[in-house]
Chain A
Amino acid sequence: MTPTLAQAAAEVGIDWGWVFGHVDEMWERTVEHVTLTGVAVVVGFILAVALSLVAIRWRATYKPITWFTGVLYTIPSLGLFAFMVPFTGLTLLTAEIGLILYTLLILVRNIVAGIDGVPANVVEAARGMGYQSRELLWRIEVPLAMPVIIAGVRIATVTTIGLVTVTSLIGQGGYGVFIERGISRRFLTEILVGTVLSVSLAVLFDFLLVRVGRWVAPWTRKTAV
């Protein structure tokens, strides 16, 4: 009944032939995965900016907004997708709505925290020099909040890349296809390929966003004395 460890090791070995035979499909799945992620993060970011502006302008709305986005964030991803399937079907739209909703909590929280984190004396100095509210927000507060906002975008992007693996279950492609198919065929190599590609993509995007962060916030490159 119990197989020896040697047998087990042989069974879980990697089939390199399969790997090299599927390079084309990997590229295809990469394009799908990146597209699903990109649309979700970009649209999520736009919505989050709008929600954050509301939260900053009308403070009382901040708690309800984070409560609501927090509830969405707590709901299991497959559950969130499934909830919409009866209405929007096993479609791209279903996948994107779910993914976008997941980014909101992280992004709104970081945008608002970033703006709130601007030192009070900087704001006072700016007001004292005659900045009006709008100029103050866009030219002082938003640039200074950039490192925290970018940190939020990083978390949102990496999280979304992980979540996109699940969208294969509602028929939307991405690396999840390898995992799902590997599970049904009980084929380790394919599952591993899907997982490793997803992790690699997350690491790559995280790295790129760190670079973007340094570019939009050059003053953080040099450390304080």
Chain B
Amino acid sequence: MISLVDVTKVFPGMDHPAVDGLSLDIAAGEFVVLVGPSGCGKTTTLKMINRIIEPSSGEIWVDGVAATETPAFELRRGIGYVIQQIGLFPHRTIAENIGTVPELLGWDRPRIAERIEDLVVRVGLDPAMLGRYPSELSGGQQQRVGVARALAADPPVLLLDEPFGAVDPIVRFQLQEEFLRLQEELSKTVVFVTHDIDEALRMGDRIAILNVGGILEQFDTPENILSGPASEFVADFIGGERGLKRLGLRTVGSVDLTRGPVVDVRSDVETARDAMAQYGTEWVALLDGDRLLGWVWGEDLDGQLTDLEPHSFWVELDPESTLRKALNAVVMTRSRVAVVVEDGIYRGMLGLETIAGEVDQ
């Protein structure tokens, strides 16, 4: 969908190129993150794709067309563009801001209005805001408008330059989640620039790690980058806690769960002791049908199980939770396991061994 072939950018008056002989191939529907320290040319690279910055040499292809052969304004109308400072037009209402590109493309009014209505809901804004001006919105809301505006003409390609850099961490996380959800629906070809490796790992299908001077160090999936950093630089850049970061990429649902020492609360004490022996634990979990009640120490087993007051598993996970969350759950309970519950139904559990095994692979 997007191809950069040996692209170099030297800014006038600079000794060293900002981007040096960079080649990248980005497939349709792929979410690619450009990440690296300041001065690595990630933003320059992004801005060469829609020719906000003209490359010094090399070729850039977008959707089978040479970018440099297309008039810049025409090229740009087919590419969604979001920047960190958002750049909403302060003199236009939210609706007018979102409708900018459709208007430039000459859509008729009802079609633009319909499109605006649709987008505003998709990006999670209150339609009551459509008549307001940007200055009346919070930073997070403005960024949502920025995304809606970029999507307005349904461009196949989206370029985002640190779009969530200016909002506080809580809102940033929310926006990231929403954007991923949106991307799942829309399957755009996305090029996303950030300096935050964690954001890159969370968002990207593939990550291009750039070094100062626009040198491509590694271009691969988050999993592969974490398990096999291609260079010292990449290893440094992704930092410590690589194991934890990898756990952040995998979901609980993707690993084999064990049934664990679990018995129905109506069973007798012997059954419970058998289950404990089978798993070598000093505790047993109690179920009421499919519902998880909690766990009890083996030494407390006496009389009817229903008479016992089970300890709760502080953290219950769903299959969408990351293994990183599972690890947290393990260390949070004295039983040293994480339990997985989906829609109130007990699915299984996993312990430290299972989690560690996933990092080894």
Chain A interface residues (CB < 8 Å from chain B): 119, 121-132, 135, 140, 143-144, 146, 217, 219, 222-225
* Chain B contacts for A225, CB-based, 8 A: 135-138
| B187 in the interface (beta carbon within 8 A) | no
Please, how many angstroms separate the alpha-carbon atoms of A148 and B150 in the complex?
29
**Which residue of the partner chain, among A125, A146, A217, A222, contacts B86 with CB atoms under 8 Å?**
A125
A129 and B135 contact, Cβ closer than 8 Å, known pairs A121-B87, A124-B87, A217-B91? no
User: Is there contact, CB below 8 Å, between B136 and A122?
Assistant: no
Interface: B180 (CB within 8 A): no
**A122-B90, A219-B90 given; A130·B77 CB < 8 A:** yes
Known contacts being A131-B73, A131-B104, A132-B73, is A125 close to B88, with CB within 8 Å? yes
Given A128-B83, A130-B74, A219-B135: 17 more A-B contacts, CB < 8 Å: A119-B85, A119-B87, A121-B84, A121-B86, A122-B87, A122-B89, A125-B88, A125-B89, A127-B52, A129-B77, A129-B81, A130-B73, A131-B104, A144-B90, A222-B135, A224-B135, A224-B136
Is A129 within 8 A of B83, CB to CB?
Answer: no
| Residues of A close to B272: CB separation below 8 A | none
Q: Flag if B101 contacts A121 (CB, 8 Å).
A: no
- Minimum CB–CB distance from B44 to chain A (whole Å) comes to 13
Instruction: For the complex, give the distance between the alpha carbons of A132 and B52 in Å.
Output: 12
Q: Number of B interface residues, CB 8 Å?
A: 32
Q: Which residues of B contact A223 (CB under 8 A)?
A: 135
Kindly provide the distance from the CB of B235 to the nearest chain A CB, expressed in whole angstroms. 35
Main secondary structure of the interface of A (DSSP, over half): helix
Cα–Cα, bound, A130→B155 (Å):
12
CA distance A222 to B79 in the complex (A): 32
Tell me whether B122 is interfacial, beta carbon within 8 Å. no
Q: Is the CB of A125 within 8 A of B137?
A: no
Point out the residues of chain B lying under 8 angstroms from A122, CB to CB. Answer: 87-90
Which B residues lie within 8 Å of A130 (CB)? 72-77, 101, 104
B101: nearest residue on chain A (CB-CB)? A129
Residue of B at shortest CB range from A136?
A: B73
Complex contacts, A123 vs chain B, CB 8 Å: 87
> Are B85 and A121 in contact (CB-based, < 8 A)?
yes
Q: Are A129's CB and B52's CB within 8 A?
A: no
Q: 20 A–B contact pairs at CB < 8 A?
A: A119-B87, A121-B84, A121-B85, A122-B87, A125-B88, A125-B146, A126-B89, A128-B83, A129-B76, A130-B72, A130-B75, A131-B104, A135-B104, A143-B91, A144-B91, A219-B92, A219-B133, A222-B136, A224-B135, A225-B135
Checking A126, A135, A143, A217 against B87 with a beta-carbon cut-off of 8 angstroms, the contacting residue is A126
CB-CB < 8 A to B52: which residues of A? 124, 127-128
Report the minimum CB–CB distance from A30 to chain B (whole Å): 36
4 closest residue pairs by CB, A with B: A125-B87, A128-B81, A121-B85, A130-B77
